[in-house]
Amino acid sequence: MMRESGVLLHITSLPSPFGIGDLGPAAYRFADLLAESKQRIWQINPINPTLLKMGSNPYDSPSAFAGNTLLIDPLGLVQMGLLDKSDIEVIPRFPDGVTDYQLVTNYKEKLFLKVYERFKDCGFKDADESWRYAKFCKESSVWLEDYCLFVACRDHYQGRAWNRWPLRVRDRDEDVLADLRQTLCERIDKEKLRQYIFFQQWFSLKEHCNRLRIRILGDMPIYVSYDSADVWANAHIFDLDKRKRPLTVSGVPPDQFSENGQLWGNPTYRWDILAKECYSWFIRRIEHNLLLFDLLRIDHFRGLVAYWAVKAGSKTASKGRWIDAPAEDFLTELYRRFSCLPVIAEDLGHITADVREVVCKFEIPGMRVLAFAFGEDIAYSCHIPHNFVRNCVAYTGTHDTNTARGWFEEASPEDKERLFCYLGREVTAEEVSWELIRLAMLSVANTVVTPMQDILGLGTLARMNRPATTDGNYRWRLLPSQMGLDKRLRELTEIGGRA
List active site positions.
299, 346, 400
- For residues 58 and 219, what is the distance between their CA atoms, to the nearest angstrom? 10
Contact call for residues 179 and 151 (beta carbons, < 8 A): no
**CB of 447 closer than 8 Å to CB of 477:** no
How many other CB atoms are there within 10 angstroms of residue 114's CB atom?
A: 15
Q: How far apart are CA 129 and CA 120, in angstroms?
A: 14
HSE at residue 291, side-chain half, CA atoms within 13 A, is 14
Q: Give the list of residues 6+ apart from residue 489 with CB closer than 8 angstroms, or none.
A: 37, 39, 437, 450, 455
Inter-residue long-range contacts of 399-402, CB under 8 Å, 24+ positions, other chains counted: 399/8, 399/10, 399/45, 399/451, 399/464, 399/465, 400/257, 400/464, 400/465, 400/467, 401/369, 401/371, 401/372, 401/463, 402/371, 402/460, 402/463
Query: Hey, what long-range contacts does 126-132 have (CB within 8 A, 24 or more apart)?
Result: 126/80, 126/81, 129/80, 132/196, 132/200
Dump the DSSP string for 422-470.
HHTS---HHHHHHHHHHHHHTSS-SEEEEEHHHHTT--GGG----TT--
